[in-house]
Amino acid sequence: MTKREKNIIDTEEFKDQINNLIEKIDDKGITNLDQTVNRFVDFLYKKTTNEKSIDEIFTVLDLEEHSEPLFINKINFLSICEHHLVPFFGTVDIAVIPNKQIAGLSKYGNLVEYFSNAFQIQERFTKEIGEKIHDVLSPKGVFIRVEAQHICSQVDSGMNNVSKFITTHSTGIYSMDGSLRDEAIKQFG
């Protein structure tokens, strides 16, 4: 059996399981089931799609310069776990030591939203944010801290009930100087 054939079998099995689940829900007499399922599918589509390119979303703020540390705290996000197809959510903290170039404050939130709109894992999500900031702004350093709750860890009986998961990523002088990372964590609160 080829990988493609196995995927078709898995897809058919998945469709059967979804149909069985819908029948169970329908048996409970839940009203407006079609609308609820449509909203759910629409939500999944929106959370895994971006209408604009990353280059349109995160850009340099022209004619402005800054060289002191910047701290952006608690940007909320929600993403879909690519391993379990359920949400994980939390906050992103960003520290940047500019090398003159900066981005507008809203651009950081847009960047977080862009990378959260994908089937994702938290470790990659954290790194993608940091690397994109580093690539676009060419700062002296970037430090990213993501704190999230994973629904999958709370519903999968085979996993520990993890209340929060923290990942970090650093570039430039943040990767070389632990005292700078400590200062950023203190600023994040």
Per-residue HEC secondary structure of 34-68 comes to HHHHHHHHHHHHHCCCCCCCHHHHCCCCCCCCECC
Whole-prediction pTM value?
0.84
The whole-number pLDDT of residue 21 equals 76
Most confident of 19-33, 39-53, 111-125, 150-164: 111-125
The whole-number pLDDT of residue 188 equals 95
- Single-letter amino acid code for the residue at 131: E
Report d(CA 58, CA 155) in Å as an integer. Answer: 35
Report d(CA 146, CA 48) in Å as an integer. Answer: 19
- Single-letter amino acid code for the residue at 146: V
Q: Answer whether residue 157 shows pLDDT above 60.
A: no
The whole-number pLDDT of residue 166 equals 95
Average pLDDT score over residue span 119-133 = 97
Which ranges constitute the DSSP H helices of 117-177? 122-137, 151-155, 173-176
The whole-number pLDDT of residue 163 equals 72
For the chain, the residue count is 189
- Single-letter amino acid code for the residue at 18: I
Report residue 160 as tokens.
Answer: 């520990």
- Nearest CA to 116 out of 139, 87, 142, 96 is that of 87
- Classify residue 112 as exposed, middle or buried by CB count within 10 Å of its CB (0-12, 13-18, 19+): buried
Cβ-contact 148, 106 below 8 angstroms: no
Average pLDDT score over residue span 151-161 = 65
Model confidence pLDDT, tens digit, residues 96-125: 999 999 999 999 999 999 999 999 999 999
- Nearest CA to 144 out of 88, 75, 83 is that of 75
Report d(CA 42, CA 52) in Å as an integer. Answer: 18
Report d(CA 152, CA 159) in Å as an integer. Answer: 8
Q: Answer whether residue 185 shows pLDDT above 60.
A: yes
Cβ-contact 57, 114 below 8 angstroms: yes
DSSP H or E run through 149: strand 141-150
154: confidence class by pLDDT, cuts 50, 70, 90:
low
